Amino acid sequence: MPQPTFERPSPQASPAALLAVTADTLVAADFRPRTRRRPPGPYRRLLATPGARAFTIGNLMARLPMGMFSVSAVVMIAGTRGSYALAGAVTATGLAATALVAPWTARLVDRHGQARVAVPATLIAALGSLALLLCVRHGAPAWTLFACYAATATTPNTGGMARARWNHLLKGDADALHTANSFEQAADELCFMLGPVLAAFLCTALFPQAGTLVGVVLLVSGMLLFTAQRSTEPPAARPRPTAKAPLRAPGIPPLLVVCLAMGGVFGAMEVVTIAFADAQGHRAAAGVILGLQAAGSCAAGLLYGAMKPAGPAEHRLPWCVAAMTALLTLPLLAASLTGSLPLLALTLLIAGMATAPTMVTTMTLVQQRTPEGRLNEGMTLAVTGLLGGIACGSAAGGWTVEHTSAAAAYGIPVTAAAAALMLTLLPPRRARAAG
């Protein structure tokens, strides 16, 4: 817009001439109110980081199958072999193999770089899934199913690699890193909410192997897109000879025990909710109800990331776990006192809102306490603790359902959360004084 020109009146001008010039100046000037641009929100600023959107899209594609493979394997094996026991045993074997192999894979990623290790590890896992599909389809012996599914344990921790990239890009900006961790936790919840639904739809609407096949395609293509973004990849760093392994780093072992207890919450909640819905004659609704819990966590995670956290993470963690423990009593009360499935779904939606803030704070502490150059390994150890807790929680929840009732079994998640709370309240161990 052309700028207005102003005439300067001569000193001898009359008052009327001065007034006329002033009026002309006011008319020529543009005094219309200008709308101020609203500053971008924290997530918009986060994704405006150069290269962030590209690696995020690839990572989400590769992460979605994590919520698909186990459901697809159960439907595929049970549908063709007629045995849920065999299907459960095969998936449990894969879980145990992942707990053993994942930290080793993460150590290689830290040492040699994401692209050099994640791509071949992903291809091995994809071949394991395809081999499982072929063995199930052609009636191979049962032992081959265990061997094939165990091979999928080489799948890299895609969420951990994304968090490592954010840590590399945002180093020194604690608020932005908090937003990034919240975003990644919300992405985890979204994938574990949509993955089982997508897998069940594909396996039932198309053919039993469709869920596994689509999961393999998404995993490989997403990992290739993710690792192709070399500008955001953290540099490979060989740990210093004097650096401690993450498992022995100060403050990490107590966090892993907390992760074990929180995994017990998730594992028990899944089994108990399925059993409760089945007892009500609505087993098919269990997936939707569990999806509501994940949706509550996803929404709370995004809101938590938009807030500026107050105080250090080690002080926030007990409060987060306390909120989780308190909210988990709601499903127990709904199931025990009313037996209403819709009310249970509502309480699970509310209870899920404490999950993401707790996990975000836990992962922040893991990042802070992990030795430099071992970040992927440290976060994968936390995930391994969660997986171990999920297995224990599933077993405890199933045993309680069989011997008491599904409603009473909702006490298992509350107990596991209370145990996690007690662990966070323990005073930190002090180093022994040199004697």
**What is the secondary structure of 134-145 as a DSSP string?**
HHHHTT--HHHH
Q: Does residue 147 have a pLDDT over 80? A: yes
The string of DSSP codes covering 304-373 is: HHHS---S-HHHHHHHHHHHHHHHHHHHHHIIIII--HHHHHHHHHHHGGGHHHHHHHHHHHHHHHSPTT
Average pLDDT over residues 164-184: 80
Give me the pLDDT at residue 21, please.
45
Answer whether 45-238 and 241-427 agree in fold.
yes
Longest dimension (CA), the chain: 110
CA–CA distance, 63 with 198 (Å, rounded to integer):
13
Average pLDDT score over the chain: 78
Give me the pLDDT at residue 136, please.
85
Q: Indicate the domain borders of the chain.
A: 45-238, 241-427
Q: Does residue 325 have a pLDDT over 90? A: yes
pLDDT tens for residues 328-362? 999 999 888 888 888 988 999 898 888 888 888 88
pLDDT tens for residues 391-405? 788 777 777 877 888
Q: How confident is the model at residue 16 (pLDDT cuts 50, 70, 90)?
A: very low
Least confident window among 119-128, 301-310, 314-323: 301-310
Give me the pLDDT at residue 434, please.
35
Q: Does residue 26 have a pLDDT over 50? A: no
Domain 45-238 sits in CATH at: 1.20.1250.20
Q: How confident is the model at residue 250 (pLDDT cuts 50, 70, 90)?
A: confident
Between 190 and 119, where is the model more confident?
119
Average pLDDT over residues 54-59: 85
pLDDT tens for residues 186-229? 787 778 777 777 777 787 778 878 888 999 999 999 999 888 88
CA–CA distance, 186 with 223 (Å, rounded to integer):
19
pLDDT tens for residues 98-115? 878 888 888 888 788 888
Q: Does residue 22 have a pLDDT over 80? A: no
Tokens (6 digits) for 248: 């022995």
Least confident window among 19-33, 52-66, 126-140, 188-202: 19-33
Enumerate residues 6+ apart whose C-beta is below 8 A from 68: 195, 196, 198, 199, 211, 212, 214, 215, 218
Q: Does residue 19 have a pLDDT over 50? A: no
Between 270 and 131, where is the model more confident?
131
CA–CA distance, 303 with 316 (Å, rounded to integer):
16
Give me the pLDDT at residue 239, please.
58
Give me the pLDDT at residue 247, please.
66
Between 217 and 31, where is the model more confident?
217
Tell me, rounded to whole angstroms, the distance of Cα 107 from its chain centroid: 20
Region of 372 (left: φ > 0; alpha: ψ -120 to 50; beta: rest) is: beta
Average pLDDT over residues 11-27: 46
Task: Look at the alpha carbons of 174, 430, 322, 410 in this order and tell me if their dihedral is positive or negative.
Answer: positive
Q: How confident is the model at residue 39 (pLDDT cuts 50, 70, 90)?
A: low
Burial 8-46 (b: 16+ CB within 10 A, else e): eeeeeeeeeeeeeeeeeeeeeeeeeeeeeeeeeebbeeb
Average pLDDT over residues 302-314: 76
Length of the chain: 435
Arch. (CATH architecture) of 241-427? Up-down Bundle (1.20)
Say what the alpha-carbon torsion angle 223, 225, 227, 230 is, to the nearest 10 degrees: -170
Identity of the residue numbered 324: M
Cβ proximity of 268 and 412 under 8 Å: yes
